[in-house]
Amino acid sequence: MTLYTKTLIICIVLMPFIVTQSSNVISIAGAQNPGNSFSLNETAGHAPNKENVTGSSMLSYVDKLNGISIEYPPNWTFSTNGLPEYSQVVAFYSPLKNITDSIPARLSISVLRYEQNVSLKDYTNLTLTSLNASQQFKVLNSGPTTLNGKPAYKITLSTLPSMQSPLPFSVMQMWTAIGNKIYFLLYSMESSKFYVSLPIVEEMIKSMKLDTSDANG
């Protein structure tokens, strides 16, 4: 893949760390954490507190153009406009519970199209290599998974606070390769609240369906 593709991968990874707090933009892209590296078989455990997913009925979002459907909680909102990357097709946002919640949890879905078919292994290797080179993340866990019953890869990262980025953020990324497309999911939230919304996000991802009848469309 080209240098442009590598740059695009880094942009997709870094973009969640550019967040809006009230009317101020806070950049979380400056944290440095040398010594952390990612590999295809790297895993790490964690034992945070998690909230249970409520039993309220879910709403359905359907994107026929990209062959995507996903369920989301009725108190979440979504947007298809003003997304930071051209490959992003939709982003879902959690509600702000009180005045101390200035940044919502965010789950975005991107679709990257290439002229030729892309393998999951090649894309994963390139992504992990690009992340290693950036030296801006700490890996929390990493390893193979499935998405809509298809082989996928998942990695959870975090930044560390610094002079340029006082608020630490955590990000969970998941991707799968189908034909000439990469389906890329990204959940981001400030680290102290990352695991609060994680069960809901995992239920959303579990409900996701991909129409692969036109895999090379």
Position 217 in a domain: no
Geometric angle at alpha carbon 39, from 34 and 43, rounded to 5°: 95
Please report whether residue 48 resides in a domain. Answer: yes
Residue 200 lies in a domain: yes
What is the structure's pLDDT at 56?
Answer: 57
pLDDT tens digits for range 123-157 = 999 988 888 777 778 888 999 999 999 999 999 99
Residue segments in the chain with a per-residue pLDDT below the cut of 70: 1-56, 160-165, 214-217
Handedness of CA 126, 127, 133, 134 (dihedral sign): positive
Residue 98 lies in a domain: yes
Does the residue 37 lie in any domain? yes
CA torsion through residues 142, 34, 195, 209, sign: negative
* Structural domain total, the chain: 1
- In 3D space, the residue among 8, 27, 33 whose CA is nearest the CA of residue 139 turns out to be 33
pLDDT digits (tens, 9 = 90+) for 11-35: 445 444 433 333 222 222 223 233 3
Q: Report d(CA 75, CA 36) in Å as an integer.
A: 37
CATH number, residue 26: 3.40.1000.10
Residue 185 domain boundaries: 3-210
Contact predicate 50/198, CB 8 Å: yes
Domain-embedded: residue 215: no
Residue 216 lies in a domain: no
